[in-house]
Amino acid sequence: MQTRMARLAVIDDIRSVVEMIATKIPWEDHGIEVVGKARDGEEGIAMIEACRPDIVLTDIRMPKLDGLSMTERILQSLPDCKIIILSGYTDFEYARKAVSLGAVDFVKKPFTIQEIVGVALRAKEQWEESERRKSSMAELRKQIEASLPALRQEHLNMLLQYPSSPAKAEELWSFLSLDMPPDNLTVLAVEIDDYESKYSGQSVQEIELVRFSLQNILEETIAAHAQGTLLRETSRRFAAVVRAGSRDLAMVIAEACCANIARFTKFTVSIGVGGQAVSLSDLSESYRQSREALSYHFYSGGNAVLHYDEVPRTGPSQPVYSFKLEETLVFALQSGNRDMVRETAELLVQGLTEQRPPPEPEQAVGTFVVWASVIYRTLLGSLPAEKLAPLEEQVRKIRMSTDGSLGKLAEQLKRLADEGSELMLGERQNESQKIVAKAVDYIRAHIGEELTVNRCAKHVNLSGGYFANLFKRETGSTFNQFVTQERLERAKKQLIRNVPVQDIAAELGYEHRRYFSDVFKKHTGMTPSEFKDYYQQGG
């Protein structure tokens, strides 16, 4: 959208022509303002330099400087100016030459006001189109300038991620416009430790502020030692290309980055250092090495630097998986043996920790995922799914672990096993209570019959030995002690109601009154008759 009127200048050696064009036409109604008038070529050039018009109406034949020379002079300083030539009939070919030099149109004398307005409006449209084009180009330049950092990051990322031919690598490097020779380069892979746990719950603005501060510290630290550039690779990882020149200097830079971030922020980072790239096309190999070295921070626990040379070179090492320990863990969980669950989880982690050479970090993480799945499946086979809801998040964290350490995963696994065993123990206790309650109901319903451990165990679908132990654990009494106590409590109620002792003995399964009386006295210190008299007398 146009924000100002087009500026018009009029040049002719005839005063009346100049005044007629400049004053007899309501130019402002057409979005045009007259900014200058002149009577000859030299005066016209001076006026144009001062007023810088957008449209110039000029006679082709004037003293001191003709229209052709003026056209050339004007377009040298104002290339977007729209020049209209005023020419007589005999000057027609002369005017055509002016158009070929850059004038946009011409009007033959004598002309009418309508002709002048028409040609000026056409020139104004051309000027407006030029202005729109310039505005679009300016906006495009702004967009390109704004996107240059992202484009440089993209080109650097391509150099690191993908092997390139020397020519392609040189092309990508040239686009970066770095004030750094492309030799003696080393890649550092930098990762924020415990990224997920430290960033959980923070806003996007807070996260971006942290990343920005970390980036500044890294860039300043690198610049203090060597030339370098930094790539924001992911939300938690940076890649730095430094012109270290030696392994020792690369390690010094990495150690300084670790120390400064730990000193000036509440975060720590782990850094993997790749080998030196002999040429630009080797940069992707240095990057790969830095990433592999970084992966071994799984064993260091973070805030550490590891060079690719220090990574174990004995070939891929798979975690030694103990199916026997897995069976022990499953059994301990199923039986609700909390101590055995803890001990087995400790042994699983210990076996992985002590393995030499250590398994590749990715394989080790996979082993923790398998163990977490075994624990969860075992619990799911014995517990309702809704009871496992508190553990699902722990299992998910282990499965999704991308920045965890051995110590952190071990802690998560032990917590999962411990809480799982607690749930299982609680479920087993609830189940035991239900079984014993069912047995007690059965005893009370059949109190006058011959009651044995095996009979009652059969009723609750357990073996005699297991039922006897379970019953004593839950009630604190042996089965026979409990049955006797139940019978005596029933007898006391009947005695208070004046039921004859003989009838009570028969009701409770005692064939002989004498035997019943002996049992009663043994447990209460009184015979049935004495107990009855005692309560009737208000004792």
Over residues 193-212, the pLDDT tens digits come to 887 777 666 777 888 888 88
195, 236 in Cβ contact below 8 A?
yes
Q: Are residues 386 and 461 in the same domain?
A: no
Structural domain including 399 reads 323-429
Query: Do 452 and 343 belong together in one domain?
Result: no
Decide if 157 is inside a domain.
no
301 & 170 share domain: yes
pLDDT at 29: 92
140 domain-assigned: no
Shared domain for 99 and 37, answered yes or no, is: yes
CA distance 439 to 447: 12
What's the confidence (pLDDT) of residue 26?
94
Tens of pLDDT, residue by residue over 431-453, are 777 788 888 889 888 988 888 98
Domain of 273: which CATH number? 3.30.70.270
Asked whether residue 300 falls in the same domain as residue 327, the answer is no
What is the rounded distance in angstroms from the CA atom of residue 343 to the CA atom of residue 332? 10
- Residue 238: count other Cβ atoms within 10 Å of its Cβ: 22
Same-domain check for residues 184 and 296: yes
Tell me, yes or no, whether 189 and 221 share the same domain: yes
DSSP conformation letters of 371-410: HHHHHHHHHHTTS-GGGGHHHHHHHHHHHT-SS--HHHHH
pLDDT at residue 227, as a whole number: 92
424 lies in the same domain as 450: no
CATH number, domain at 531? 1.10.10.60
Whichever domain contains 22, its CATH number is: 3.40.50.2300
On whether residue 30 sits in a domain, the answer given is yes
pTM: 0.54
Radius of gyration of the chain (CA): 48
Amino acid 135: pLDDT: 86
* Angstrom distance (rounded) from CA 329 to CA 43: 102
Q: Based on the domain organization, do 170 and 303 belong to the same domain? A: yes
Q: What residues of the chain score a pLDDT lower than 70?
A: 1-3, 89-95, 144-148, 199-201, 313-321, 401-404, 427-429, 538-539
Q: How much of the chain exceeds pLDDT 70, in percent?
A: 93
Question: Does a structural domain hold residue 434?
Answer: no
Q: What pLDDT is attached to residue 322?
A: 73
3-state secondary structure 197-259: HHHCCCCHHHHHHHHHHHHHHHHHHHHCCCCEEEEECCCCEEEEEECCCCHHHHHHHHHHHHH
Instruction: Flag whether 153 is in a domain.
Output: no
Choosing from 395, 429, 463, the residue where a domain stops is 429
Q: Are residues 225 and 181 in the same domain?
A: yes
pLDDT, position 123: 92
For residue 149, with 0-12 CB atoms within 10 Å meaning exposed, 13-18 middle and 19 or more buried, which class applies?
exposed
User: How many structural domains does the chain have?
Assistant: 4
**Domain presence at residue 467:** yes
pLDDT at position 200 is 66
Query: Could you tell me if residue 439 is inside a domain?
Result: no
Q: Which amino acid is at 435?
A: I
What's the confidence (pLDDT) of residue 276? 93
Which domain-ending residue is among 113, 134, 155?
134
pLDDT at 315: 55
Q: Return the SS3 of 9.
A: strand
What tokens appear for 342 in the block? 């803890």
Query: Tell me, what's the pLDDT at 91?
Result: 62
Same domain for 178 and 85: no
Please indicate, yes or no, whether residues 379 and 509 belong to a single structural domain of this protein.
Answer: no
Q: Which of 398, 429, 460 represents a domain boundary (last residue)?
A: 429
Residue 186 lies in a domain: yes
